[in-house]
Chains A and B, each alone.
Chain A
Amino acid sequence: MAPTTKRPSNSSWLNVLSSLLVPGLGQVLQGERTRGISLFATVIVLAGLIIWQSLSVLFIPLAALWLWGVWDTLQRERGRPSGPTAPFLLAALIVYAAGIKATEIVPRRIITGWPNIQPIVHALVRPELLKHPTEDRIGYLPLQVPCIEPLPEPGENASQEPRLHTNVRCAGMGETIILEGEGFFPEFETEIWWRNPIGDWQKVIKDGIPLTVVTDAEGRFQVSLQVPTTAVPLDRLPGPGETQTHRVEARQHKPYGSLQPTQTLSLVLNKIGETIALAFIATVLAVIFALPVSLLASRNLMWGNPASRAVYYAVRAVLNIVRSVETLMWAIIFVVWVGQGPYAGTLALLLHSIAALGKLYSEAIEGIDPGPIEAIRATGATWSQVVVYAVLPQFMPSFLSFTLYRWDINVRMSTVIGLVCDAGLGFLVIQWIRLSRYNAMATAIIAIVLVVAILDYVSAFLRQRVIEGVPSVRRRGWFRRYAVPAMVTIALLALFVWSWQVAQIDIATFVTGIPDGLRLASRFFPELITRPTEEVSVSAALPVPCGAAEPTPQPPSGPRVNLSLSCASPGDPLVITGHELPPNTRVSVRWLLPDGRYLRIQKDCCDTDSMGNFRLETKVHPLLEVNPQEEQIQPGGVAVVWKQAIGGPRPSEALTTTFNLSLVTLLMALIATTLGSVVAIPVSFFAARNVMGRSIVGQAIYNFSRTVFNLWRSIEPMILAVISASWLGFGPFAGVVALALNNIPNLAKLFSEAIEEIDAGPVEAITATGANRLQTLVYAVVPQLIPRFLAYILYQWDINIRMSTVIGYVGGGGIGQQFRTWVELDMYEAAGAAVLAIVVMVWSMDYISGRVREKMV
């Protein structure tokens, strides 16, 4: 193909010049409207990003992008269209640079924060499951630090049995003392602990490790140790000539009897039950509500007349809004309504499930083929027979599959819903991390992973059964025909009743709480626009006592305040009237004291009438009196103050904050998806059966990576966020890392499935042309993978946007963190703005990624 080169003509130079003036204009003039407009829009959006993050250095690549537009126009005039790689890279550079700044990514913190999560990581391999009950022997002794003259009596006593001695009664910090003990268990390990005057405990460290001694056969020991220099915080050190009472303690824990589950374990087991119960009850109730709703949301049933069509649109819209607000967000709202506890969690799960299932069921109904219905009707069947023989057989498989799928999601959600509402395993995690009980927390996290992984497997198994569709033809034998279904029904009923109890469902409270709920909901009406105001006042002087100063005359018209007295003594009755003030407005009427301070005369006063007048009767306040000693010339008086709008309406602070944080949230999702993909692409090849081959090593790698990905996937992103927030500090960076860590196994699994589904034909054909392995990879494998990988990445981005709206509840930054803060501060109208932003964001991203995926696959 010989490229044809034309020489640019005069009009071509005009196009090139217009590209220089306005990016994209040249392309539009050349007839490439989409190209020109998207270039223009890109430049504008990127400029906005740069200004928003005030990263002026990025104007260089932006200028390069602009120049590329000019160059592209020129090349086009010469008949050599250029590819989109260069502008794409430039735009990506700007977006990622701005994103890294907006999400506060500081890679250094990954290293510096490591000590913070080291105990957590250690704890994960040592969960608290079983332990021996112990018999404890503890001896303690007070010690005064530092020594002073005279030494006061210590503030506490020493233990009698067992007993401790030291060679001194007092010591300075870092001094070595000799500790002796008697009356302990013989030949048994003893830990030495130190308690500072504030009451904090620490282990005594000797030679860099915690000090333990072993008693002799008589139960005695002797050991030298240093008074810990770190025992007292710097701001609590004793002043000169003071001393503080410390305590040294020797502890023995002798186990006896058999292993018993720890309290942690029984608590975790209890909460596993609660988690499953919540998911179960929410799913069952959601099915009951979603079925009728889905009928109203089915196009084929509601398309008949305009009225039902309107109902269809309304129901669809409500379902979509409810769905795009995450379950955890609903949980926060329900906590405000019905209080902490499993009940709020259940309601949140239920509401979100109804919306999700309603949509899925309605799609199943819309997918029903009218052919079989016609055929059954043609046999002369009744309406109910048509339903049983033509409608249900088509609907049931998707119904069962969707319900199981939702149950799966509800189990996952109910493990983390406790992070906000005191229910299920998530609550234990958040509680124990706050108490730094890492081993206990690890137990809860492991429980979450197991519950999710097992129920994932069960539901996948059941769904597979449903899809394969073992047809329920007549089952043989009365046992299989009646007894098995009866037992299953009884078991499900029992599970339902138990779950109902656990979830603490209280219909009465719910019904009586409806007015409260509606009032609460109305306060969520987002405040988007405010008008800035300034305070305006008019005043009238009132000299107290008479003669203290000259009264000032009031203007005859305009806003003014008139007093019934021109001068007064304290306690005199006074009538204050306001005239020609703004009508129907709340004004504040205040004493203007001689020293310049204000004092509100009466609470909740006063409202002007439609003419702008008001009248208030009161008594003259004693503080108005002018102090004759201080030769004040300014008399006191009465001021009327009201707020007056200045300038036009402008976006409220909630709106601008929400807008900023929405951008941060989008960028968080983008960067997390990118990080996740970059790691997932190479590792996904280890989990692809066709890549790993049939050798023993290959099989082992395949099975190992599959297992790791599946277990890792079971760790909910919210749990990862809890951990990464204590690793990297609160903020969007923690959220990005949590999401990326969650994306790696998810994407790796999807990618490996895409790799396994590569069509071998083209690979064979390219190999047959004599291409080498690398060429075969580039020409036969990569073109097959790219579109599917991109589709999965977009899908993950979509999920990440949803997740990043809630990941902030536990310290992951973004809009979620702000939402929770606003709710906790009762700033509901701001929280409403956040909800609105999330709905808009989720909808638009849903739409965009849907369109892009449609195009690519």
Chain B
Amino acid sequence: MLRVEHLTKVFPDGTVALRDVSFTVQDGEFLAVIGLSGAGKSTLLRCINRLIEPSAGRVIWNDIDITAVKRGELCRIRRQIGMIFQQFNLVKRSSVMTNVLSGRLGYANPWWTLVHRFAPEDHIRARNALDRVGILDKADSRADQLSGGQQQRVGIARALMQEPKLILADEPVASLDPVLAHSILQYLEQLNRQDGITVICSLHFLDLVHRYASRVIGLKDGELVFDGLPSELTRERFKEVYGEEAEMVTVGGALAA
């Protein structure tokens, strides 16, 4: 169970990105985070694994206060939390295999990894992960030779290497076209249903939220303005989150703000 309590983030330049945000995520949930660009979605996700240090508040995961642990302990927590990014964040010039293996860094012997040595089990695990996302044949390609959808699947495989209990997905499909968006989210759904991994995913398209999420929270100017089931997210509530002028538009079969 993940509990976020009174989380606040103020950047050094004075921008308030999160303002007293509190919510709870049960194990096995697929939580969608919606909101305008700049509403604080990315900051919220990064405060959970402390890629960004929160200014105040606590993040408690399975009775451990993530916001209070020391650096070494933080690494051990992070390795159980997979993360997927909008821009995939692969090392473009490294091979797909190296990118996937790097998901294992938190587990492997730190000294051997400095000369790119991983245990044979890790190699097998990496091939399985690539197989699972359907791009095993690309293992030896350079990451920048892959298409956007394939790169995001490498991103998922990298997260899988961590054997995560929680996946943070920061707008994983915003850089992809709608068809690919579905295929990527189906992988996340599979992980959520079959492996019981909790998923927290920021999304832009309302129909994707309806289709995949089991719960939704909405952020506006850093404040939590919605917390409920996807079915409760009506047109009116949607306008509360996205502002009065927002209209739901259909792009390639998906609704967008």
Contact = CB atoms under 8 A, between A and B. Distances in A.
A770 interface: yes
B110 A769 contact: no
B89 A765 contact: yes
Contacts of A775: 105, 110, 113-114
A778 B85 contact: no
A779 B91 contact: yes
Interface centre among A761, A766, A771 (most CB of B within 10 A): A771
Contacts of A765: 83, 85, 89-90, 155, 158
A767 interface: yes
Interface in A94-116: none
Contact of B105 (A759, A779, A786): A779
A780 B162 contact: no
A629 interface: no
A85 B80 CA distance: 35
Contacts, number: 97
Nearest to B94: A783
B87 to A, nearest CB: 5
Interface in A773-800: 774-775, 778-780, 783-784, 786-787
Contact of A780 (B77, B91, B114, B159): B91
Interface in B102-152: 102-107, 110, 113-114, 116, 120, 123-124, 126-127
A787 B142 CA distance: 13
Interface centre among A2, A762, A766 (most CB of B within 10 A): A762
Contact of B158 (A2, A761, A767, A769): A769
Given A1-B127, A761-B87, A770-B77, A783 B93 contact: yes
Interface in B37-52: 49, 51
B106 A769 contact: yes
A761 B89 contact: yes
A516 interface: no
B120 A2 contact: yes
A606 B83 CA distance: 95
A348 to B, nearest CB: 43
A249 B113 CA distance: 75
A764 interface: yes
Contacts of A784: 91-93
B233 interface: no
B193 interface: no
A767 B91 CA distance: 13
B114 A774 contact: yes
Nearest to A778: B114
Interface residues of A, number: 23
Interface string A787-824: 10000000000000000000000000000000000000
B91 A770 contact: no
B12 to A, nearest CB: 8
Interface string B61-78: 000000000000011111
Interface centre among A764, A768, A772 (most CB of B within 10 A): A768
A762 B90 contact: yes
A265 B155 CA distance: 65
Contacts of B126: 1
B105 A771 contact: yes
Nearest to B155: A765
Interface in A724-775: 759, 761-762, 764-772, 774-775
A280 B168 CA distance: 61
Given A761-B85, A762-B90, A770-B76, A2 B124 contact: yes
A769 B105 contact: yes
Nearest to A779: B102
Nearest to A775: B105
A289 B89 CA distance: 50
Contacts of B19: none
Contact of B78 (A1, A761, A770, A780): A770
A1 B101 CA distance: 12
B81 interface: yes
A768 B123 CA distance: 20
A770 B90 CA distance: 16
Interface residues of B, number: 43
B79 interface: yes
A366 to B, nearest CB: 28
A772 B110 contact: yes
Given A765-B158, A784-B93, A770 B79 contact: yes
Given A768-B78, A772-B75, A787 B105 contact: no
Interface centre among A770, A772, A786 (most CB of B within 10 A): A770
A780 B143 CA distance: 13
Contact of B123 (A1, A761, A771, A772): A1
Given A762-B91, A765-B89, A770 B162 contact: yes
B126 to A, nearest CB: 8
B93 A766 contact: no
Contacts of A767: 51, 78
A770 B106 contact: yes
A766 B102 CA distance: 7
B114 A769 contact: no
Contacts of A786: 93
Contacts of B91: 762, 766, 779-780, 783-784
Interface centre among A762, A769, A772, A784 (most CB of B within 10 A): A769
A768 B124 contact: no
A188 to B, nearest CB: 63
Contacts of B103: 769
A80 B113 CA distance: 21
Contact of A771 (B94, B106, B127): B106
B66 to A, nearest CB: 12
Contacts of A1: 120, 123-124, 126-127
A690 to B, nearest CB: 15
B184 to A, nearest CB: 16
A762 B120 contact: no
A762 B151 CA distance: 13
Contacts of A764: 51, 85, 89
A783 B89 CA distance: 13
A2 B107 CA distance: 20
Given A1-B127, A779-B91, A784-B93, A771 B51 contact: no
Nearest to B78: A770
Interface string B165-191: 000100000000000000000000000
A769 B162 contact: yes
B124 A771 contact: no
A786 B93 CA distance: 10
Given A1-B123, A764-B51, A769-B104, 14 more contacts: A1-B126, A1-B127, A765-B83, A766-B91, A768-B83, A769-B83, A769-B106, A770-B76, A771-B75, A775-B110, A775-B114, A779-B105, A779-B113, A787-B93
Interface of A: 1-2, 759, 761-762, 764-772, 774-775, 778-780, 783-784, 786-787
18 contacts: A1-B123, A761-B89, A762-B92, A765-B155, A765-B158, A767-B78, A768-B51, A769-B82, A769-B83, A769-B159, A769-B161, A770-B79, A770-B80, A775-B105, A778-B113, A783-B93, A783-B94, A787-B93
Q: Which 6 A-B pairs have the closest CB atoms?
A: A770-B106, A770-B79, A761-B89, A770-B78, A1-B123, A771-B105
